[in-house]
Each structure stands twice: as C-alpha cells, then as structure tokens.
A and B are shown apart, each in its own frame.
Chain A
C-alpha cells in the first residue's frame, strides 16, 4: 500500500465550480522512500494539491489517506500532520521563534515531547542539515538558504514519514537553491526520507524518481523525469520550459549529431559532446 493515497480528489476554492476547481479528479500514490516531483505552470493547481496531502486543505470530494488515516478525520488530523511535515515557499514566514534551536524545537513542543528528549532531537536535526553551529543564532541574520535548512530541521526533528516541499527554493538565489536541494537530496539518499516536491524549476525535478505534471487541476503527464522531459512537445503544449540540456540535445539530434536521448544535465551533455569529439 502506498504511504499517501489520493483517490478521485477534487478541490474547489470558494466560488469555484467543479469544472474550474483548483484540483479536478486527481488520483495517485506516494510510495515509501520515493522522491516525487510535481511540476506545472502557475495556477496549475500544484500548490493546492500539496496542501491537500497534510490536511491543510480538505478535499471537496474524494479522499486523501496517509497510512490509512483520512485527512478528513478531524480527531486524527494531528497524528496525520506529525507523519507529513511541510516546508513552505517563504523562508521568513515559517520560522516562529527568535532563536534557531527554539524554532526547531517548536514542533516537538507542540507534540508534548519531554524537554530532555527535545534537546537531543533538536541537536540531531540541526546536525543533519549541517546547521549545528547556528543553534543559538537569530533567524533574521541567516541567509534564505540557511533559513530553509532550519525549517527542514524543524520538520526532521518531528521524525515525519514524508517531507512535503512547496516551492522551497522559489525565493532563493541560485546558491541558496543548490544548498537547500543538496540538503534534501542527501537526506533522501542517506536517511531514505520520502519527499514530495512542488517546483517550477525543471532542473530540480530531474532529481526525482517520478514526476507528475499538473495542468488545469489534472495530472497531464507522469513518469520518470526522463520520460516526462523527453516529451518535449507535450511539455511545450502545457506551457512548460524543458530543461535546457534536454532542449539542446533535441536540437543537436535534429541537426544530425548523435547525442543520446537520455542527456538531461550539463554534466551528461559535456560527456556526450566529448565522446563525439574523440570519435572524430
């Protein structure tokens, strides 16, 4: 059974009808240990979708289940949210406390964990995101990337099953973006944490095991990153950018160069081009 299960989920904001709702009939599962990226243009419903996964929004119809707990079950909502941690877009608007370690402790304090255990778990979580030395700092003195890492530590400390990320890098500069993505990637690889990642940076979705592409509240494309990004025509039709290297390799292939279809990143492109060059 999948960790998170969505069946025929519809969601409408106030004043929307079923036909123009934000999410219209979405069904999929998130498996334990996988990295799922959700892409789509602005207004495609991807941010709404992710907020349905931890009961911040409740489906208008259909059901979201996390390990068998329905998000509509009011009495078990905190149990569900403990399993499904969430990182938001704006790094400033999700840090509550005036000291980094206090903020990481916030979730644990809410869960009623005993003080000594909180201290240990906070220290541990900060080490995991490599922010241990900033434990006593004030959040407003940190960079955007560091703030997001603190937010991640705050979720990790709660030991969730799934980490949801709603465009966590959208407000960061390129170095901050890399910092945050590398951190999550490492956690995913080392700790095997399940990740659901909403993003509009196609390169970021390359790290995923599976990509869902949203359009008009529905899943338009899905599959491995390579399958999705090779469907360049399909992506263009949905108003999405294709990762630059995928686009470049397609154009080179059209010109008759033998570049493998699987080339998606700069490293792979470099390698492919070098091989071509040495073959001459």
Chain B
C-alpha cells in the first residue's frame, strides 16, 4: 500500500521545458515568483497565465496534472479567499448581515490574493513536474555554491538530499513490512481515536528508527570504503552547460518582467 507513493511529482519527458538546465530553472522560478508579487491587477495575471499556459503546452504536460497540484492547498486558498472577503475594508457594500460585510473592494482583493497563491503553486509545480529530484538537487548544489564563502555547508546539504531521496523508497518498503509484521501479531493501526492511533504507531516507529540508524551506519562505512571524504577535491560526472534553450528562456522571462514593470509605470 505504501509502495505506490511516487517520490515528488516528476513527470518524465524530453520537451524544451524539461531540457532547460536545472540551475536556470531555479533562477527562472525565482524570477517568476518575483513577478507574481509584482503584479498589481488582473491584466498582470493575464500575462502570467499566458506564460504558464505557454510553458505547460511546451512541456507536453496535461493541464489536469497542473491543476491536480492545487488540490493539497485548496483549503488554504479558500481560507485566504473568505478571510479577505469578510475582513478587507471597502466602501461599496454588496452584502451586509450583522457583522458580515462584503464590499466590492474586499471581493476584488480576496480574488486577487487567492489567485496569487494559485499562480505561485502552479509555477513552482511546473518546476517540480518537469525536473527530476536528482537534477533539482544537483542544480541547487551548484546554484548555492557561492554560499560556501560564508561557510554554508552546500555540499553536505545536497549530499543529505541525495541520500534522503535514495532511501525514502527503501524505508517506505520497510515500513510496509513492519506494519504487516505487527498487524500479523494483532497490532491495529486503523481504529480508535487519535490518541490510540498515535500510540499504535510506537511499535512501528521504534523498529523503523533502529533500522534507519543501522542503515546510516553501514552506509557511512560503505561511503568511506569508496574514498568519500566530504566535498573537498570532489569532481562530478555530469557537466552542466547552459544551452541556447536556457538563454532563450531567460530572455523570455526577463522580457516579461520588463514589460510588466513598464506597463505599471506607464499606466
């Protein structure tokens, strides 16, 4: 049952969007997030929507996939929407009943804020849907490299992420096994109130943790046997080199950013 969980939401493909260098994709996502916060009206959102649709079509992803990524935060979006609708101030009252007052301005503001969240999630989903977790880790290590100057453990962080990615499926499989073993001895994970269920997790978590520590120990020895001694003097197999598609993408994003800023200045 646990085996079905896919790691991340990467959707393999060979589109231009997939091929953009992970470092560039991280930079572009950062630019996109800036753009979402810069936008001040619905025309700006139109621009964002056009960009998103263009990238999605180019990536060959189904719109369904993109929209599915909104599901987990639907509650937050709705909450943001209603909170803003009820509490934002405004003059032109549309509806009033006791303490609930909805004005035209509050409705506008609520929709605006909710859309901002939607756009943030859709944009970052496009990143994780078209970039494998490994490429993402790799890109992150290289993008963060300058932080080494301020003693930020960039290599260690990316190593930890790689190992976590490597062992999540293994540990899930193990959890499944332990659950079955405990269930065979009469453990009950599915009934009872919250407290009882939390208690039922103890016989699952204890062996899982013990095994995880043993694995960590063995892995550390195996890594040492293969001459691992931290990031110093280490090379990488993959060479990341920026291609034409990367520069084109950057150009597109910068042009959009400039266009939006110019529009706001002029109007």
Output the nearest chain A residue to B214 by Cβ-Cβ distance.
Answer: A93
Provide the residues of chain B in CB contact with A138, threshold 8 Å: 169
Shortest Cβ distance from residue A102 to the other chain B in the assembled complex, whole angstroms: 7
Chain A interface main SS type: helix
A92 with B170: CB separation less than 8 A: yes
Most-contacted residue by chain A among B165, B221, B234, B235 (CB, 10 A): B235
A112 to B235, CA, bound (A): 5
A88 contact from B163, B222, B227, B228, Cβ within 8 A: B222
Given A115-B236, A118-B235: A110 touches B227 (CB 8 Å cut-off): yes
Q: Tell whether A124 is near chain B: CB-to-CB under 8 Å.
A: no
Provide the residues of chain B in CB contact with A184, threshold 8 Å: none
Chain B interface main SS type: helix
Provide the residues of chain A in CB contact with B163, threshold 8 Å: 96
Provide the residues of chain B in CB contact with A154, threshold 8 Å: 226
Interface readout for B213-243 with A: 1 if CB under 8 Å, 0 if not?
0010011011111111100011111110000
A96 with B237: CB separation less than 8 A: no
Binds B, one of A21-29, A79-87, A212-220: A79-87
B223 contact from A82, A96, A158, Cβ within 8 A: A96
A36 to B222, CA, bound (A): 21
B237 with A94: CB separation less than 8 A: no
Given A88-B222, A102-B134, A115-B235: A110 touches B229 (CB 8 Å cut-off): yes
Provide the residues of chain B in CB contact with A88, threshold 8 Å: 218, 221-222, 225
B227 with A96: CB separation less than 8 A: no
Q: Tell whether B162 is near chain A: CB-to-CB under 8 Å.
A: yes
A106 with B228: CB separation less than 8 A: yes
Cβ < 8 Å to B, chain A residues 155-192: 155, 158
Shortest Cβ distance from residue B10 to the other chain A in the assembled complex, whole angstroms: 11
A96 contact from B162, B229, B234, B239, Cβ within 8 A: B162
Cβ < 8 Å to B, chain A residues 124-165: 138-140, 154-155, 158
Output the nearest chain A residue to B227 by Cβ-Cβ distance.
Answer: A110
Output the nearest chain A residue to B173 by Cβ-Cβ distance.
Answer: A140
A93 with B224: CB separation less than 8 A: no
A109 contact from B215, B219, B225, B236, Cβ within 8 A: B236
B225 with A93: CB separation less than 8 A: no
Q: Tell whether B44 is near chain A: CB-to-CB under 8 Å.
A: no
Cβ < 8 Å to B, chain A residues 81-123: 81-82, 85-86, 88, 90, 92-99, 101-102, 105-116, 118-119, 122
Q: Tell whether B166 is near chain A: CB-to-CB under 8 Å.
A: yes
Interface residues on B, range: 20 to 34
A111 with B215: CB separation less than 8 A: no
A97 to B165, CA, bound (A): 8
**Size of the chain A interface, CB-CB below 8 angstroms:** 40
Q: Tell whether B60 is near chain A: CB-to-CB under 8 Å.
A: no
A113 with B235: CB separation less than 8 A: yes
B225 contact from A86, A90, A101, A105, Cβ within 8 A: A86
B234 with A109: CB separation less than 8 A: yes
A138 to B237, CA, bound (A): 17
B239 with A110: CB separation less than 8 A: no
Cβ < 8 Å to A, chain B residues 179-221: 215, 218-219, 221
B162 with A98: CB separation less than 8 A: yes
B227 with A78: CB separation less than 8 A: yes
Shortest Cβ distance from residue B200 to the other chain A in the assembled complex, whole angstroms: 27
A85 with B237: CB separation less than 8 A: no
A110 contact from B133, B173, B219, B234, Cβ within 8 A: B234
B235 with A96: CB separation less than 8 A: no
A138 to B165, CA, bound (A): 10
A163 to B166, CA, bound (A): 25
Provide the residues of chain A in CB contact with B215, threshold 8 Å: 90, 92-93
Most-contacted residue by chain A among B133, B165, B215, B219 (CB, 10 A): B219
Shortest Cβ distance from residue A55 to the other chain B in the assembled complex, whole angstroms: 9
Residues of A whose CB lies within 8 Å of any CB of B are 54, 56, 78, 81-82, 85-86, 88, 90, 92-99, 101-102, 105-116, 118-119, 122, 138-140, 154-155, 158
The contact sample of 14 A-B pairs, CB cut-off 8 A, is A78-B227, A78-B229, A88-B225, A93-B215, A93-B222, A96-B163, A96-B222, A97-B166, A106-B226, A110-B234, A116-B239, A139-B166, A140-B166, A158-B227
* Extra 19 A-B pairs, beta carbons < 8 Å, given A82-B227, A93-B222, A97-B134: A54-B225, A56-B224, A85-B225, A86-B222, A88-B221, A90-B215, A93-B215, A96-B219, A98-B134, A98-B165, A108-B237, A109-B236, A110-B228, A111-B227, A112-B233, A115-B236, A118-B235, A139-B166, A140-B166
